[in-house]
Amino acid sequence: MAKPILITGASSGIGYELAKVCAAHHHDLVLVARREERLLELRAALETAHGVQVLTYRGDLTDASTRQQFFDWTQAHSIIPYGLINNAGFGDLTPFADSSWEKQNAMLQLNIVALTHLTRLCLPGMIAQGQGRILNLASTAAFLPGAYMAVYYASKAYVLSFTEAIATELEGTGVTATTLCPGPTQSEFADRAEIKDVKLFEGKNLPTSAEVAAYGYEAMEKGQRTAVHGTTNKVLSLATRLLPRKNLADITKGMQKPA
């Protein structure tokens, strides 16, 4: 495969659009998600439009053995990734004390553990090749505590901290690690998180997943460390450094109060 990029959560939203951007830049692709029929449709479209090779893998990445089997499968296909895009993730709007533990645990497994595990599995091969790109999806949520989405915001803070740390470890190896921090974006995310009716999303003219993906791809290719999408989000993420964290949590409480 030519400079293959592995993309998790490529069946919708930002991951789907990242697959399109990567294919347009002549990367072969390995796409992972649970809804394989969507991946197969995307595969056919990308192979026709760009002449790239696309492989798909159906799997639930909250499961450690699935992640290992996926990686073993890539090795059996002699794939050493040029790029790894850890995009799969989800949120949940609910007061923590009322939340489903099963759902919060799945979120931790996907947003944190799967991202860390896949990075650990892929990195040695990338370093041995002397080149590679990692793009980890965080969020502007990474910069502050998020009332009613406590686990989600904390999971994205982890992604930011983890990726910044390995970016420094990787200096001089030819491999870079980039954290992409979108703000609220059009995708299936808000529906799934049951957040589309709160102030943060409701009635807003949100950027498309395609816009975020194009920005994220460019940042990844440049080896940028942290990429916050959109001028307002950039300003807000800087402003979080100035305000007391209690105030930040209060702001999210106002913006995200469940109906």
Ligand X SMILES: NC(=O)c1ccc[n+]([C@@H]2O[C@H](COP(=O)([O-])OP(=O)(O)OC[C@H]3O[C@@H](n4cnc5c(N)ncnc54)[C@H](OP(=O)(O)O)[C@@H]3O)[C@@H](O)[C@H]2O)c1
**Contact residues: ligand X, CB under 6 A:** 8-15, 33-35, 60-62, 87-90, 110, 137, 139, 182, 184-185, 187-189, 192, 209
| Cα–Cα distance for residue pair 177/165, rounded to 1 Å | 9
DSSP three-state, residue 132: strand
| Cα–Cα distance for residue pair 148/56, rounded to 1 Å | 35
DSSP three-state, residue 137: strand
| Cα–Cα distance for residue pair 125/169, rounded to 1 Å | 15
> Which CB sits closer to ligand X, 209 or 252?
209
152 is catalytic: yes
Q: Which residue matches tokens 């990242």?
A: 18
Structure tokens belonging to residue 5: 């990029």
When CB distances to ligand X are compared, the closest residue is 13
Amino acid identity of residue 23, one-letter, is A
Minimum distance of ligand X from residue 128's CB (angstroms): 27
128's CB contacts (< 8 A; 6+ apart) are 80
> Which CB sits closer to ligand X, 188 or 202?
188
> Which CB sits closer to ligand X, 170 or 200?
200
Minimum distance of ligand X from residue 82's CB (angstroms): 21
| Cα–Cα distance for residue pair 183/234, rounded to 1 Å | 9
Amino acid identity of residue 160, one-letter, is L
Minimum distance of ligand X from residue 187's CB (angstroms): 3
> Which CB sits closer to ligand X, 116 or 129?
116
Minimum distance of ligand X from residue 241's CB (angstroms): 19
Structure tokens belonging to residue 169: 């470890």
> Which CB sits closer to ligand X, 6 or 88?
88
Minimum distance of ligand X from residue 172's CB (angstroms): 29
> Which CB sits closer to ligand X, 25 or 192?
192
How far are the Cα atoms of 67, 94, 149, 189, 252 from residue 91, in angstroms, in the given order? 21, 10, 7, 7, 14
**Closest alpha carbon to 156 in 112, 219, 220, 116:** 112
Backbone dihedral angles phi then psi of residue 137, each to the nearest 5 degrees: -85, 110
Which residue out of 16, 82, 148, 152 is catalytically annotated?
A: 152
Minimum distance of ligand X from residue 254's CB (angstroms): 18
Positions marked active-site: 152
